[in-house]
Amino acid sequence: MLAGESPIDRDAMRALFVALSWSLAAYLIFRESILRFWWPRSTMYWTGNPLVLSQGLDRVLMPFVLLGRSVALLIAPVHLSVDYGSMVIGWQVRYREPYFYIGLIAAIASLAILIGSIRRRRWEVFAIWAALALTYGLTSNAVSLIGTIFAERLLYVPSAFFLILIGMFASSVRGSILSWVLVLTTLAASWHTFELARLWNDPLALFTRQLAEHPRSLKLYDLVQEQYARRGQRESAQRIGHLAVLNLPEVFEAYMLCADAALAADDIDDAWRIANDGYAKIPKCRDESVGE
């Protein structure tokens, strides 16, 4: 026990743990009654959760990739996106990217925290770790697939327990150092939040910026194209469709998106050419291959 640290009220900690456990159990039962956590693979579309295409070792290792992305966003939520489906994350491990290794290190560190909390009888750390693991595990796509591969909203509840753990370990740092770290972190995060909040008033600017950061997102091409269509800018919508085909040449839906924009612009020849090009390069649609 550290100097000045008050003794732990074990009865209070036990009551807190029981209350949290019963609350989580009640939530799970209620949540399952209105919307199941487990989704039948036949009802999943690969652009929302590409993991339906994962096989073999990739299916085992991809949860580490998602864990790595989660840790990266918890520490530095810089490049956020409204969509991580289609080819943004994909369904195969990309060993040239750091996320798999970050996820592996995070899993080992998490196991070390678990063992350390049990050996040192730090039951408060164990309780917070268990809450973090449970709330994250429900949407991690590790045990069963959910409707989406990844989303920032899935980290809201786990992030609360993550910050509690950080706070517990940071309490041993000198007050002056911790104060400056908190001030700088808060200023940086506040500016980033303010900058992104302004974009929400202009959906086209928001989606265009995110498309530049995630050029392999089919959904973002669809959203940008829709914004141009609403503004009557058919040529710009058609240009976005061609950009989708250029960056997603292996995705059949990109050709359909491009062809639809050409039809909306009354460019029948371009729509016919794009559709034929898509059928020539990808004879079988992705959704048909997933259905098998």
pLDDT tens digits along 164-206: 888 887 777 766 677 777 788 788 878 877 877 788 888 999 9
State the average pLDDT over residues 32-44: 70
What is the chain's mean pLDDT, rounded? 86
Q: What is the residue extent of each domain of the chain?
A: 40-170, 203-291
- Confidence class of residue 8 from pLDDT cuts 50, 70 and 90? low
Q: Of the CATH numbers 3.40.190.90, 3.30.559.10, 3.40.50.300, 1.25.40.10, which one belongs to the domain with range 203-291?
A: 1.25.40.10
For the four alpha carbons of 79, 82, 87 and 91, in that order, the dihedral sign comes to: positive
State the average pLDDT over residues 48-66: 94
CA distance 264 to 266: 5
DSSP state of 185: H
pLDDT digits (tens, 9 = 90+) for 129-171: 999 998 999 899 998 888 899 999 999 999 999 988 888 877 7
- Confidence class of residue 283 from pLDDT cuts 50, 70 and 90? low
Kindly tell me if the per-residue pLDDT of 207 is higher than 90. Answer: yes
Q: Measured between alpha carbons, how far apart are the two ends of the chain, in Å?
A: 59
- Confidence class of residue 289 from pLDDT cuts 50, 70 and 90? very low
Report the share of the chain in percent with pLDDT over 90.
52
pLDDT at 38: 65
pTM of the full predicted structure? 0.78
pLDDT at 19: 87
Kindly tell me if the per-residue pLDDT of 1 is higher than 50. Answer: no
pLDDT at 284: 55
- Confidence class of residue 106 from pLDDT cuts 50, 70 and 90? very high
Three-state SS sequence of 128-179: HHHHHHHHHHCCCCCCCCCCCCCCHHHHHHHHHHHHHHHHHHHCCCCHHHHH
- Confidence class of residue 3 from pLDDT cuts 50, 70 and 90? very low
Is the separation of the CB atoms in 224 and 203 below 8 Å? no
For residue 210, what are its two tokens?
A: 């995110």
